[in-house]
Amino acid sequence: MYERKIQPTLNCGLDLVGEVIYGKWKIRLLWFIHEGHQRPSELQRKIPDASRRVLSSQLKELEDHELISKVIYPVVPPKVEYSLTDFGKTLIPVIAALGNWGDAHEERLRSIILKRPHHLSTP
């Protein structure tokens, strides 16, 4: 596993939240799990742009951070189900707020992001 060389900043609440939700797909994972998609393969289908490897890895971090818990069924093929912990559930309203803001400003955001994209060369 990768070992950080630079220590994280943990001054305020924002720093702390950042440590647990900063990850390309983490917020979406929490949200989809909240919606009832509990199995890795389901989540993978909900987020096809993410590689299986990364989803698995971020799920593990969420678990380490006690936001989700994992149940492994001893069957073949393997079956695993994630669910929000009570702690994780307290984060849902906040994530909902983020999503609502995004939805509320969808048109504008989409336009702004695609306008002078940081990811395309043609000006």
Partner DNA sequence: TCGCATAGGGATAAATTTATCCCGCTGACA
Partner DNA sequence: TGTCAGCGGGATAAATTTATCCCTATGCGA
Tell me the closest approach of the beta carbon of residue 22 to a second copy, in angstroms: 8
- With CB under 7 A as the contact rule, the residue among 10, 51, 105, 117 that binds DNA is 51
74 binds DNA (CB under 7 A): no
What distance separates the 2 farthest-apart alpha carbons in the chain?
54
104 binds, among DNA, a second copy, none (CB under 5 to 8 A by kind): a second copy
Rounded CA-CA distance 118/121 in Å is 8
Check if the beta carbon of residue 85 is closer than 8 Å to that of residue 96: no
Tell me the closest approach of the beta carbon of residue 23 to a second copy, in angstroms: 10
Rounded CA-CA distance 30/60 in Å is 12
Tell me the closest approach of the beta carbon of residue 63 to a second copy, in angstroms: 11
